[in-house]
A and B are shown apart, each in its own frame.
Chain A
């Protein structure tokens, strides 16, 4: 029985024990962190994104500790990252200088540097592979990556449209360090750096649902966005410490990037042109980077003077509700005792009913 009133301390202790036992009770072999990292890499990548900490080992540890509850793993990683010191802000990454693993465009048949399919579930038939039920050691690894891409640089494909001014320009108007959602409270109207951060660490399911709503009809003007380019690969991270005065590379990270092209009818000041939605995530999170790019475009609606009609265009709606650490906390807090408030409601409803039943009213 769940008794909130008495014995809280003992109950908590037992509860933690029972939870730990859940993982152990049948005595299976403990999973190694490396196994999670290598063999459940998509889960690991989701957790580094929404946990907003690029550390695949800790992500794997969090997944193990949370017994596969990814929202819980994300929460663990967030609670850890908040204790870390902030040494520096990196300079903006340059995604044209990328060790490319995958790169496609749905807008152009061929692109300089070529389309590179890379590893993807896209054309796998979603049939359960029963051979995995009993897989021996992974030793039959077949290296097929024999064709190194010739290019070392992959400039953004859609920038080619810029030559004709068909595409809105992305202008860097950051004066100082970017807004930091981990240090500063949310501000409205939200700036793009602020919302891009919130989207990058936002809940994948929420963003996927929102972006789906937009392209199904609960979005601007019922236009259909085009994938200008999707990239997945490794980029270098640079910082530029004041005392050095030049940039130094501090490591590299995997990223997924999506550039979405969308229409814009133009207004009094601007002739019709293509607009962009941009999505960037840590690791291999292509689906999420696509969702972000659609949400990003929708959040720009206000700036274009478009009518704000749908949830996805509404800054407060999207940005306040995208974070699953906040969302899961608040939704699950409902299971905390509320009997003081509920007593107030009981008290009231009895009074109201008595008044009515005794004919005072109606």
Chain B
């Protein structure tokens, strides 16, 4: 099939430029590499960074999975998947285990990823310190000097005010004992999956023009204090479809009285769990 575009849309020179940045990012886990991000035919903030990373590493043999909020059939995930179908003519899948390349927004699949897989995160704001220090000139220095007191004080203040850290998503991590890294707006529930993950984790921020990476088997630690250890979300309820008590749940309002149900956010996990339990 002729698509009318270069394979994966980007021209080869751009892909090479991005691959070089990815290699650099892999060499310095958690470090944000500036890259000459291109305008994509998708709005900034809607996954342009993730798309550029995916486009530069995808091959004809790859099987692509795209999720948004854990689901394969959310509108933006469908739109991105269709984009790659159109410009790459490649196979796509909903099954986590089948995919060689997974682009995601806001979730890490519940199914453990393996060493033959790559997960590409869409990143709205790569700088974990940005809300504490708006200036890039300053935050780059803070990273260079490993000067992270701002972040620790922030977490401390939350504990003193609320009794616990109140960050529930984009919960900052320390990568390879060095850089504080933004895990993207995944729920903190997913943070432990990043630690020692077998799969390569790549992060693309299109608008901010940054790429960073966490190589396989890298230590990723969610920031905490000895007396206030990191905790993930739990629910009293279980998934009303598959009965899972181990997955991240979404809350669905089902009537005008506000009655709610909880279901797995990872639709593929939910489906296979249901089949398994039958």
Contacts and interface: CB of A to CB of B under 8 A. Distances in A.
Interface of A: 4-9, 11-12, 75, 78-79, 81-83, 85, 182-189, 316, 320, 325-326, 328-333, 336-341, 343-348, 352, 355, 360-361
A355 B168 contact: no
A343 B169 CA distance: 10
Given A82-B40, A316-B137, A333-B45, A361 B163 contact: yes
Contacts of A333: 43-46, 124
13 contacts: A4-B74, A7-B73, A8-B75, A316-B136, A325-B43, A332-B43, A337-B75, A340-B106, A343-B249, A343-B250, A347-B233, A347-B235, A348-B166
A5 B265 CA distance: 10
Interface of B: 5, 11, 34-41, 43-46, 48, 68-71, 73-79, 82, 105-107, 124, 134-137, 162-163, 166, 168-170, 185-189, 207, 209-210, 233, 235, 248-251, 265
Given A8-B78, A352-B162, A329 B46 contact: yes
Nearest to A82: B39
Nearest to B43: A329
A339 B78 contact: no
Nearest to A355: B163
Contacts of B188: 344
Nearest to A332: B43
B251 A343 contact: yes
Contact of B134 (A6, A83, A316, A352): A316
Contact of A326 (B41, B207, B233): B207
Contact of A325 (B44, B137, B166, B185): B44
Contacts of B69: 4, 337-340
Overall SS of chain B's interface = loop
Contact of B74 (A5, A85, A185, A346): A5
Nearest to B78: A8
A82 B38 CA distance: 6
Contacts, number: 140
B40 A352 contact: no
B73 A6 contact: yes
Given A8-B75, A79-B41, A329-B207, 13 more contacts: A4-B75, A7-B73, A8-B78, A326-B207, A329-B48, A330-B124, A333-B45, A337-B68, A337-B76, A341-B169, A341-B187, A344-B187, A344-B188
Given A8-B78, A341-B106, A336 B168 contact: no
Nearest to B263: A5
A341 B44 contact: no
B39 A340 contact: no
B73 A346 contact: no
Nearest to A86: B13
Overall SS of chain A's interface = helix
B168 A348 contact: yes
A186 B34 CA distance: 8
Contact of B39 (A6, A8, A78): A78
Contacts of B207: 326, 329-330
Closest 10 CB pairs of A and B: A329-B44, A344-B168, A333-B45, A329-B43, A330-B45, A185-B34, A185-B209, A8-B78, A82-B39, A329-B45
B39 A344 contact: no
Contacts of B73: 5-9
Greatest chain B CB density within 10 A among A326, A331, A338, A340 is at A340
Contact of A189 (B40, B43, B82, B137): B137
B233 A344 contact: yes
A83 B136 CA distance: 29
Contact of B250 (A184, A186, A336, A339): A339
Nearest to A84: B11
A316 B135 contact: yes
A81 B40 CA distance: 10
A250 B185 CA distance: 48
A183 B69 CA distance: 31
B53 to A, nearest CB: 15
Nearest to A329: B44
Given A332-B45, A337-B69, A345 B168 contact: yes
A338 B251 CA distance: 12
Greatest chain B CB density within 10 A among A331, A332, A336, A352 is at A336
Given A75-B43, A185-B36, A337 B74 contact: yes
A168 B225 CA distance: 56
